[in-house]
Structure 1
């Protein structure tokens, strides 16, 4: 499987959909479905029955996964595409807009 260009903890900008132009931090990534969970983005309403963990039950607001193709990595406050290059014997991510190493 190819290396993911976006990792958990990255700041991303939504480039398509109902939350277009919003920014948030990546909470988790699903490599199998190419989906990401972004903090505060794609909020959905979920109805929960009372349980041992949630005694009250009721209506919960939580993030839903968004397709990886609908987000772009933010580097120095600007959205950029991501490439890879070899830095010695280590593979590193590179911002296409500036050519700087991301991590």
Structure 2
């Protein structure tokens, strides 16, 4: 992976559903060439109840974005 993006860098999404939005990198997945960005690409996960007396719930989680879809704005030292 040849990108220079690290945790804490400020980035801009340059393509996809979240094009034009800014965020901060919270996790870099080098193996998959993806990054996790705070408050961007949130998905809804429906969690089923584990037992009969439990209740299910809906959880919002952040999903990673491929590093080719983002642009580095400010680098952390």
TM-score, normalised on structure 2? 0.81
- Show structure 1 runs of 5+ residues with no match: 76-92, 94-101
Q: Which runs of 4+ in 1 moved over 4 A?
A: none
Cα RMSD after superposing both structures: 2.0
Q: CA deviation at 1:74?
A: 1.0
Q: Which has the higher contact order (CA 8 A, sep 6+)?
A: 2
**Does 1:39 find its partner at 2:38?**
yes
Aligned length: 74
Aligned equivalents of 1:49, 1:33: Cα separation in 2: 28
Distance 2:41 2:58 in 1: 16
Judging changes above 3 Å, is the alpha-carbon distance between structure 1 residues 6 and 49 closer, same or farther for their aligned structure 2 residues? same
With normalisation by structure 1, the TM-score equals: 0.62
Q: Which runs of 5+ in 2 are unaligned?
A: none
